[in-house]
Structure 1
Amino acid sequence: MNQVSVFRLYVLRALYLLVFIGLGVQIWPTIIRHATPWEFMHGVELCMLAAFSLLCGLGIRYPLQMLPVLMWELIWKTIWLAIVALPLWLSGNLEEKMLPNVFAISLVVLVYLAIPWPYVYSHYVKKPGDKWSKTQHQA
């Protein structure tokens, strides 16, 4: 099994902490103090980000067990950058008001750097999956 260094665990913890605090400062005050109903997608976005912040809080204690949360963030942000932001930028239609969001989402590069890829490979690619039934059929 691939072991993850203590340094890499602290890098992961720092990333989880950054997300936990960053979203905590931005999202939770809005959730706690909201007085009027939100538009549907705005409410979905805020609630998903709040849940993500709590899961990152858990990642501070369990950095390897919470890796799927970081991989989810990595995947959606990479897809968004590739199929939304990049085509807009290449066509010259990327609006200036979108730039702060593009920059924030581009910070996904930190996730790419923090994730212990050999561990991910050995635990999510090479490792056999869980059983599908109670009995194991032999071929």
Structure 2
Amino acid sequence: MNASTTSATTDTITPLRRNLLRACHLLLVVGLGLTAWPRLLASGPDRPVIDGAFDAVLCALQLLAIAGLFAPVRMVAVLVFEVLWKAIWVLVVAVPLWSRDALTPEVTETLFACAFAVPFVVIIPWRALVGDLIRRREPWHGAPAETGVPGERWIPRRRRG
């Protein structure tokens, strides 16, 4: 690989961390394969629409996690999404219920499922990811920064007048 086709994130990830990222993706593949797909496929017309939509999003996440098994660094956004939605849910839903001593069995079960994302926080290469986003940000207009994506090129805007 040459410098134009790799990112700083890809270059700075150790083989151990890359394999740990694969393990995180595998956890999503297996976990969502055992939970979200059966719920979605077994759901009937009486199920609340939002529950079906939620499971469909999780199934899509599982399909993206399969790609993460083969490209764990490039698909790290899947893991970031997983961490973010669970952290938001814990902070906005679970913590207020816990503080009022109003946890239900359903909330406790979801909270337990959210705990599986805790190792992701340690394994995700946050510093390299943020650094890569800052270094390789895209302009609002004009020629794009070097993306390293083969075949991507800048097409100039037509001049007015």
- TM-score range, shorter-chain basis? 0.7 to 0.9
Give TM-score, length-normalised by structure 1: 0.85
Asked if the contact 1:81–1:106 (Cα under 8 Å) also holds between the matched residues in 2, the reply is no
What amino acid maps onto 1:130 in structure 2?
A: E
Superposed CA RMSD in Å reads 1.9
Q: Is 1:51 the counterpart of 2:53 in the alignment?
A: no
Paired with 1:88 and 1:9, the residues of 2 have a C-alpha distance of 37
Post-superposition CA distance 1:7-61 (Å, at most 9, x none): 0000000010111011112222344455x32421011011101100000010111
Paired with 1:33 and 1:76, the residues of 2 have a C-alpha distance of 24
Equivalent residue for 1:117, pick from 121, 126, 134: 126
Q: Secondary structure at the match of 1:64?
A: coil
Following TM superposition, the consecutive aligned residue runs of length 4 or more in structure 1 with deviations greater than 6 angstroms are none
1:5 match: 14
Paired with 2:89 and 2:38, the residues of 1 have a C-alpha distance of 26
Equivalent residue for 1:20, pick from 26, 29, 40: 29
- Number of aligned residue pairs: 134
Higher helix share: 1
Q: Is 1:131 the counterpart of 2:139 in the alignment?
A: yes
Report the CA distance shift for 1:84/1:32 in structure 2 as closer, same or farther (over 3 A).
Answer: closer
**Structure 1 unaligned residues grouped into runs of 5+:** none
Instruction: Give % identity.
Output: 30
Pairing of 1:53-72 with structure 2 (within 5 A): 53-72=62-81
Give TM-score, length-normalised by structure 2: 0.75
1:74 match: 83
Larger radius of gyration: 2
Asked if the contact 2:24–2:79 (Cα under 8 Å) also holds between the matched residues in 1, the reply is no
1:42 match: 51
Paired with 2:69 and 2:28, the residues of 1 have a C-alpha distance of 10
